Structure 1
């Protein structure tokens, strides 16, 4: 049985984690399904919206599976590889997170370009309490998002943030009523979708570039876009609208 629900449209794909009996815990089967989604979006780039099927986004990795994993499984980076693949998708990834978003679930959210939260969000990394570390991206993505000081506290203590704390820390960009979360994610996708797809892809790529590659990487991307027929079309339409009485 599928552990995710997929709704595809011309400009976006919505993926809902769907293991409600275990608060959408991330299993190996779910990872495999997410790899299949990524393969499609690498070939046919579209916006990706990630959400949970219940009051939880994802309560973490499946502990029953995690307990049995050994050193070779850690070195295989089962969750880390899929989260990195999601982060590298050509078009933006929006995580609509609510309820329990813990451990691997939080790390999946950290891999998104935009995170929006429902009012019931509870997010954090309690891995050390289970005898492991947050090794699927939190160690380096979380400091980039909230700063090293707060990230260090959260990762060492396992403290869970509520929606207001996550917003104050910059971990999410906005908090909305839970009932409006998915609609808000699609509104963001609508705004992104109205922009030039090539400019959007290049914006994401340049944002992800290391600091030492700027401003060269910015200039190279702009050089490509300056030659784009879509840039000329959009700017011509803008000038025509402005010139109308």
Structure 2
């Protein structure tokens, strides 16, 4: 059975599901590789407009597979080039919605932070426990986390290795919204359908500029925003959207 399953509830929406329930969706090298392959393909698809990433109803992902790491040496870890697999997800141009039930711990928390929107169930928990086994986060758990929640909340999580609840994650900015556990996937798909009905060029420019601007000066980030704003006036979707608004009718966007 594949470690990662992909379904398309509609042609515009892809549902990527981790499928290692016996290991609480632990992220071994094969699973990371399959994730990278799927996100690369979906990112290049002309049809897919939004991706939902889930681990299922009980567990998002409970971290790295320690059995494959316990006796590894530094050069072995370096040569795995795991960061290249993570980068494929990070550079995916399509909006990604993480639907998080249960544990999002270690690499699972880092995987969720690769998404653009996080929908968490009330029973979900987020954690960077690497310090408890003598290492530290290695896939964004110190950097993406700090950018998401700020220095003091991030330091508390990575220095103690203690989990935070879904409610705490929402309050600190680590989740977009919290819903009942049974409603997580349905809510993520509802958001995906909403996004998929919007103009794809505008969605892609918004994601690209927002992420690029985070680490730029305000002046540079505003320039990126301004150029992308201007560029969208060359699109048919801009003409359709504004005409539809003025005509008081639903807009139909084609992505050009």
TM-score range for the pair, normalised by the shorter chain length: over 0.9
Q: Which moves more between the two structures, 47-56 or 187-196?
A: 47-56
Report the Cα distance in structure 2 between the residues aligned to 1:77 and 1:158, rounded to whole angstroms. Answer: 25
Q: Which moves more between the two structures, 140-149 or 85-94?
A: 85-94
Partner of residue 214 from structure 1, selected from 218, 221, 224 = 221
Report the Cα distance in structure 2 between the residues aligned to 1:21 and 1:13, rounded to whole angstroms. Answer: 24
How far residue 38 of structure 1 moved from its aligned partner, in angstroms, is: 1.8
Deviations 1:125-168 (A, max 9, x none): 01011111101111110001010111011101111001111111
Alignment match, 1:13: 14
Aligned 8 A contact 1:19 1:53 in 2: no
Unmatched segments (≥5 aa) in structure 1:
none
Matched, 1:47 2:56: no
Aligned 8 A contact 1:79 1:104 in 2: no
How far residue 54 of structure 1 moved from its aligned partner, in angstroms, is: 4.5
Alignment match, 1:128: 131
TM-score, L = length of structure 1: 0.94
CA RMSD of aligned residues (A): 1.5
Partner of residue 169 from structure 2, selected from 166, 169, 191 = 166
Alignment match, 2:72: 69
Report the Cα distance in structure 2 between the residues aligned to 1:122 and 1:157, rounded to whole angstroms. Answer: 15
Alignment match, 1:25: 26
Alignment match, 2:112: 109
TM-score, L = length of structure 2: 0.90
Q: Which moves more between the two structures, 206-215 or 192-201?
A: 206-215
Report the Cα distance in structure 2 between the residues aligned to 1:190 and 1:73, rounded to whole angstroms. Answer: 42
Report the Cα distance in structure 2 between the residues aligned to 1:81 and 1:181, rounded to whole angstroms. Answer: 29
How far residue 27 of structure 1 moved from its aligned partner, in angstroms, is: 1.2
Equivalent pairs counted in the alignment come to: 242
Deviations 1:50-86 (A, max 9, x none): 1113411000011111213321243246543333321
Partner of residue 181 from structure 2, selected from 178, 187, 190 = 178
Residue 70 of structure 2 aligns to a residue whose secondary structure is helix
Partner of residue 189 from structure 1, selected from 189, 192, 213 = 192
How far residue 33 of structure 1 moved from its aligned partner, in angstroms, is: 0.8
